[in-house]
Amino acid sequence: MSELDGKVAIVTGAGRLRSIGYSTAMALAEKGADLVVTGTGRDPATFPADEKEIGWMDVASTAERVRGLGRRALPLVVDVTDGEQVRMMVDRTVQELGRVDILVNNAAVAIGADRVPIIDVDPDLFRRVVDVKLTGMFLCSKAAIKVMIEQGEGGKIVGVSSVAGKRGTANSLAYNAACFAMVGMTQSLAQELGPHRINVNCVCPSAVDTSRMDHYERDEGWREMSERHPIGRSGTPEEVGGFITYLCTEAASWIHGQSINIDGGMVMEH
């Protein structure tokens, strides 16, 4: 038997082929979990070239690959900032897969016009960046926790923050605010949910080679950013997804309330 046989996991933001969400879903499935994978229903016209080339279909394709590993999979289009859609997500998870054991709060807004000086940040975009990460984490966690407590068998919640939740940088105000707040929410939830045997942790990656980073066009700036890591390179989504999956196993049950840097040594302070 695999370590997560019989477990059901929800991974938000899992529709992109080159992504932490997709890699996490696949790693969880390889450990035996059944999956609910969510996305925003992206317009196929906006897909990167590699996704278009293979006829990628967002969360439907992620679910298909999970099923290819012999696991059940439910793809859903969900706005994690909408409480009704989040409740529907958890209700359908229980109805179709039977339970909820693991929640990975990975949804985030793509890098874009928020990465500018504060005087140029659009207030609506600021709210959107914060809303997806924080309101999304709040609503998804609230709905999943209710089921986990009723089941009485514990659970695992992992948030995907960033080293931007440990160290502030210029021209990144909304993202810094959201990522720092995820670290605080992780600690609060961990204090509250420990007695229910629900582990709550957070991962804080640095630059990971995903389609989100296509914003940098893989130019000289990307190469220099990658080489600034003490280990000399950026990370892979498989590395981050594998670590998230480890945090969802019983082997990690003594790790609780932590926001762990996974960043090639970019940020070494706590």
Q: Which residues does the annotation mark as catalytic?
A: 175
Nearest to 193 by CA among 244, 157, 167: 157
Residue at token pair 């409740």: 87
3 state SS of 9: strand
CB 92 within 8 A of CB 148: no
Return the number of other C-beta atoms located less than 10 Å from residue 125's C-beta.
15
Which two three-digit tokens encode residue 158?
Answer: 């992992």
Q: How far is CA 184 from CA 28, 189, 192, 198, in A?
A: 26, 9, 13, 17
d(CA 97, CA 93): 5
d(CA 224, CA 19): 21
CB 183 within 8 A of CB 259: yes
Q: Give the full edge-to-edge strand order of the sheet including 8-11.
A: 73-77, 34-39, 8-11, 102-105, 155-160, 198-205, 259-262
φ/ψ (deg, to 5) at 135: -60, -40
Q: Which residues lie below 8 Å from residue 151, measured CB to CB, with a gap of 6+?
A: 99, 100, 101
Nearest to 247 by CA among 212, 205, 200, 210: 200
